[in-house]
């Protein structure tokens, strides 16, 4: 496009007139210097940068992610997330084992291609800049992340399980089936968290986002993904997390819970979270708690695959919500 054509597209698709100097960038290596109002030229495509994305935490806006830009595709005005190349690595400990985690733009690009047209995953394309940086252009999903969605439910926990949890469990099962499809392709998500599922406004679909992390864990190549799924289930089953320090604020009720907790009742994912929710809620269905205990410090057995986990979740659906299980075709499958 000529500079005049770019200005016309910017004025058409953005809320502000671009009257100043027009900066067109072909090399995104120095992403810290890419600001709102700049235009990225990538393989003949043009994207207006609107600013930096932020990392939301606990329902709040967090720190800016300077390598992830808010963008507008100047071909049609659609909202995009532009993920530039940023390499980082760090170590975590799971069950006393050190595990190296790192970002891989190439891995995310590969997954985007493999999940094209699968509605349970974010959608996007990969392009390269003038220096061959691997840049992912992702369609923005309109909706709420799972963390915020559950956090906004106002009912008490017992009412939540009775009136709202059935639909949530059904959608989680569909979401984990999608993760199974990814694992069947030989890929892992790498960073399964409560804010990496987005619930799309309008369709209600639970959609996975952000695939650029990977890790090295020889014991189970999908082990971190399974632990992440367990953490999502813990948050969903409990309508929130229950940390040891939080229980002290409950007064006598919290002290009673603390007095009966053991180290084995805590989460493998985070040692200060209670995984054995039957000790927090006496009415917790046994089938749900059975699943959670696979992700506790005292677990005698852990899940080796998404299929094992799905089987137990479908068992919960049949036991707790037989009418919905019938609609899902689960009753026939169990006969």
What's the CATH code of the domain at 201?
A: 1.10.510.10
- Give yes or no: residues 166 and 296 share one domain: yes
In this prediction, residue 78 carries a pLDDT of 96
- Give yes or no: residues 219 and 313 share one domain: yes
Please give the structure tokens belonging to residue 60. Answer: 């709040």
What's the whole-model pTM score? Answer: 0.92
Backbone angles phi, psi at 110, to 5 degrees: -65, -40
The answer to the question of residue 97 being in a domain is no
In this prediction, residue 216 carries a pLDDT of 79
Domain final residue, candidates 64, 84, 104:
84
The answer to the question of residue 109 being in a domain is no
Tokens 């919500």 correspond to 321
Q: 327 is in which domain, residue-wise?
A: 143-334
The answer to the question of residue 120 being in a domain is no
For residues 234 and 185, what is the distance between their CA atoms, to the nearest angstrom? 27
Please give the structure tokens belonging to residue 133. Answer: 């940086």
Report the DSSP beta bridge partners of residue 93. 98
In Å, how far are 95, 268, 297, 299 from 34, measured between CA atoms?
A: 41, 40, 45, 48
- Give yes or no: residues 72 and 174 share one domain: no
- Give yes or no: residues 149 and 69 share one domain: no
- Give yes or no: residues 170 and 49 share one domain: no
The answer to the question of residue 210 being in a domain is yes
The answer to the question of residue 170 being in a domain is yes
User: Would you give per-residue pLDDT tens digits along the chain (335 residues)?
Assistant: 888 899 999 999 988 777 778 999 999 999 999 999 999 999 999 999 999 998 765 555 568 899 999 999 999 999 999 999 999 888 877 767 788 888 999 999 999 999 999 999 999 999 999 999 999 999 999 999 999 999 999 999 999 999 999 999 999 999 999 999 999 999 999 999 999 999 999 999 999 999 999 987 767 788 899 999 999 999 999 999 999 998 988 888 899 999 999 999 999 988 899 999 999 999 999 999 999 999 999 999 999 999 999 999 999 999 999 998 888 888 655 43
In this prediction, residue 335 carries a pLDDT of 39
Domain final residue, candidates 34, 54, 84:
84
The answer to the question of residue 330 being in a domain is yes
For residues 121 and 327, what is the distance between their CA atoms, to the nearest angstrom? 24
- Give yes or no: residues 160 and 269 share one domain: yes
Number of domains, the chain: 2
The answer to the question of residue 110 being in a domain is no
- Give yes or no: residues 73 and 173 share one domain: no
Angle between helix 306-320 and helix 165-184 axes, rounded to 10 deg: 160
- Give yes or no: residues 197 and 324 share one domain: yes
- Give yes or no: residues 29 and 158 share one domain: no
**Per-residue pLDDT reduced to its tens digit, 117-155:** 999 999 999 999 999 999 999 999 999 999 999 999 999
- Give yes or no: residues 207 and 319 share one domain: yes
The answer to the question of residue 44 being in a domain is yes
C-alpha atoms less than 13 angstroms from C-alpha of 153 in its C-beta half-sphere: 21
For residues 48 and 36, what is the distance between their CA atoms, to the nearest angstrom? 8
In this prediction, residue 249 carries a pLDDT of 87
Domain final residue, candidates 16, 50, 84:
84
């Amino acid at each position: 496009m000529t500079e005049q054509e770019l200005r016309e597209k910017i004025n058409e698709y953005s809320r502000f007139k671009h009257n100043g100097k027009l900066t067109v960038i072909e090399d995104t290596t120095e992403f810290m210097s890419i600001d709102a109002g700049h235009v990225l030229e990538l393989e003949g495509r043009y994207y207006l940068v609107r600013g930096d994305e932020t990392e939301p935490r606990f329902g709040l806006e967090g720190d800016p992610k300077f390598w992830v830009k808010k963008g507008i595709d100047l071909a049609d005005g659609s909202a995009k997330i532009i993920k530039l190349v940023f390499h980082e690595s760090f170590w975590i400990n799971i069950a006393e084992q050190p595990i190296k985690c790192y970002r891989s733009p190439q891995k995310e690009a590969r997954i985007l291609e493999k999940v094209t047209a699968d509605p349970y995953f974010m959608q996007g394309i990969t392009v390269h800049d003038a220096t061959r940086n691997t840049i992912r252009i992702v369609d923005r999903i309109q909706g709420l992340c799972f963390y915020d969605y559950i956090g906004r439910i106002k009912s008490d926990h017992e009412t939540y399980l009775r009136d709202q949890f059935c639909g949530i469990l059904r959608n989680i099962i569909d979401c984990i089936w999608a993760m199974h499809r990814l694992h069947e392709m030989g890929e892992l998500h790498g960073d399964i968290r409560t804010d990496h599922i987005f619930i799309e406004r309008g369709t209600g679909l639970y959609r996975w986002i952000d695939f650029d992390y990977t890790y090295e864990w020889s014991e189970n190549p999908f082990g971190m993904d399974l632990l992440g799924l367990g953490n999502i289930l813990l948050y969903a089953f409990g309508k929130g997390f229950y940390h040891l320090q939080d229980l002290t604020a409950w007064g006598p009720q919290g002290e009673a819970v603390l007095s009966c907790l053991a180290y084995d009742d805590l989460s493998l994912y985070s040692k200060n979270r209670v995984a054995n929710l039957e000790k927090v809620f006496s009415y917790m269905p046994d089938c749900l708690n059975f699943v959670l205990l696979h992700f506790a410090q005292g677990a005698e057995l852990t899940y080796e695959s998404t299929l094992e986990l799905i089987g137990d979740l479908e068992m919960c659906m049949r036991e707790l919500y037989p009418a919905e299980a019938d609609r899902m075709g689960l009753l026939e499958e169990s006969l």
